[in-house]
Structure 1
Amino acid sequence: MDKLEKPPLSLREIVEQAGSLTRVAEICGCTVSNVSQLLSRGSDLPARHVLAVEVALGIPRSSIRPDLYPKDLAG
């Protein structure tokens, strides 16, 4: 990662921007328990949910999972 690039958003930061675990669960189509388990494990947002979060919260996919969506390819 370049020194000027921001680190990827953690799931905790995504939950903060969404306002609640419930909102993230709704966006992802999963249960609050699933989101809570991911948080407790310190997991990244699963790849299958990145685009839904991008659309719902306006967070660029490259900020959520730069390992999957590098900024130079995401536009």
Structure 2
Amino acid sequence: MEPTALERAIEAAGGTKALSRKIGISSQAISQWQECPPLRVLEVEKVSGVPRHELRPDIYPAPVEGAAA
């Protein structure tokens, strides 16, 4: 089974403890996430490199090819 965007973000950040240190919350809080909370998406994107539209496609639609930014 392919890892979720959140799982990829945690791995890219160096694990749950590393991600928690980088965004300033407890690793226990991250362990309880089923998906990235809306208020944490931009922080997780910044430290992991996993795009916001992959972390929360319900909030951030995928960019459209060729569309003006």
If the length of structure 2 is used for normalisation, what is the TM-score? 0.72
Partner in structure 2 of residue 45 of structure 1? 36
- CA positional deviation for 1:66: 0.7
Deviating 4+ runs (over 4 angstroms): none
Unaligned residue ranges in structure 1 (runs of 5+): 1-7
Q: Could you list the runs of 5+ residues in structure 2 that have no partner in the other structure?
A: none
For residue 60 of structure 1, report the CA deviation from its aligned partner.
1.4
Measured after TM superposition, the shift of residue 31 of structure 1 is: 0.2
> How much does 1:30 deviate?
0.9
Percent sequence identity over aligned pairs: 32
Measure, in 1, the Cα distance between the counterparts of 2:7 and 2:63: 25
Q: Counterpart of 1:69 in structure 2: which amino acid?
A: Y
Q: Does 1:29 align with 2:12?
A: no
Structure 2 match to 1:4: none
Given that residues 9 and 49 in structure 2 are in contact (C-alpha distance below 8 angstroms), is that contact kept between their aligned partners in structure 1?
no
User: Which of 11, 17, 25 lines up with 1:16 in the alignment?
Assistant: 11
How many residues in Structure 1 have an aligned counterpart in Structure 2? 62
CA deviation after TM superposition for structure 1 residue 45, in Å: 0.7
Structure 1 vs Structure 2 CA RMSD: 1.9
